[in-house]
Structure 1
Amino acid sequence: MPHSLVLNLLPQSLIPPQFLTGRHLHALFLTLVSSVDKELGDRLHDSTADKAFTLSPLQIINTNSPLLKGSKRGAKLQWEHQQPIPAGTPCWWRISLLDDTLFSKLTQLWLNLNPSHPWHLGPADLYITSIQGTFQSIQPWANASTYAQLYEEASDSHRTIHLNFCTPTAFRQGQYDTTLPTRESVFNSLLSRWNKYSGIEFPQIAIESIFPSFVNIHTEILADSRSKFIGIIGEVTYKILGTVELIQIKQINALADFALYSGVGRKTTMGMGMTRRLYSP
Structure 2
Amino acid sequence: MPHSLILNLLPLSPVSPGYLTGRHLHALFLTLVSSVDKELGNYLHEAAADKAFTLSPLQTKKCPFKKHHFLQWEHSQPIPEHTLCWWRITLLDDSLFGKLTQLWLNLNPSKPWHLGPTDLLITKILGTPQVDMPWANACDYSQLYDRASDTNRAIAFSLATPTSFRQGKFDSVLPTRECVFNRLLTRWNKYSGIEISPLSLDALFPSFVNIKTEVTSNYHSNFIGVVGEVTYRILGDVEPLAIKQINALADFALYCGLGRKTPMGMGMTRRIFVKNSQD
| TM > 0.5 fold call | yes
Q: Does residue 174 of structure 1 match 2:156?
A: no
Q: CA RMSD in A?
A: 1.1
Provide the residue aligned with 1:52 in structure 2.
52
Runs of 4 or more consecutive aligned structure 1 residues displaced over 4 Å after TM superposition: none
Query: SS where residue 134 of structure 2 aligns?
Result: coil
Superposed CA deviations along residues 191-216 of structure 1, whole A, max 9, x for unmatched, are 01000000001111131111000000
Query: SS where residue 101 of structure 1 aligns?
Result: helix
2:211 to 217, 221, 224: 217
Provide the residue aligned with 2:77 in structure 1.
83
Q: Does residue 118 of structure 1 match 2:98?
A: no
Provide the residue aligned with 1:94 in structure 2.
88
Superposed CA deviations along residues 140-173 of structure 1, whole A, max 9, x for unmatched, are 0000000000000000000000101100000000
Query: SS where residue 59 of structure 1 aligns?
Result: coil
- The total of aligned residue pairs comes to 275
Query: SS where residue 208 of structure 1 aligns?
Result: coil
Query: SS where residue 43 of structure 2 aligns?
Result: helix
Provide the residue aligned with 1:231 in structure 2.
225
Provide the residue aligned with 1:15 in structure 2.
15
1:188 to 175, 179, 182: 182
- The offset of 1:136, in angstroms, is 1.3
Aligned pairs (5 A) from 1:17-166: 17-62=17-62, 67-68=63-64, 71-73=65-67, 75-166=69-160
Structure 1 Cα separation of the partners of residues 155 and 242 of structure 2: 14
Identical columns (%): 67
Please, which runs of 5 or more residues in structure 2 have no aligned partner? none
Q: Contact 2:68 / 2:229 at 8 angstroms: preserved in 1?
A: no
Structure 2 Cα separation of the partners of residues 105 and 225 of structure 1: 30
Structure 1 Cα separation of the partners of residues 135 and 92 of structure 2: 14
Change (3 A) 1:218 1:72: closer
Provide the residue aligned with 1:253 in structure 2.
247
Give the TM-score normalised by the residue count of structure 1. Answer: 0.96
- The offset of 1:279, in angstroms, is 1.1
Superposed CA deviations along residues 19-72 of structure 1, whole A, max 9, x for unmatched, are 00000000000000000000010011111021100000000034xxxx34xx34
Change (3 A) 1:152 1:9: same
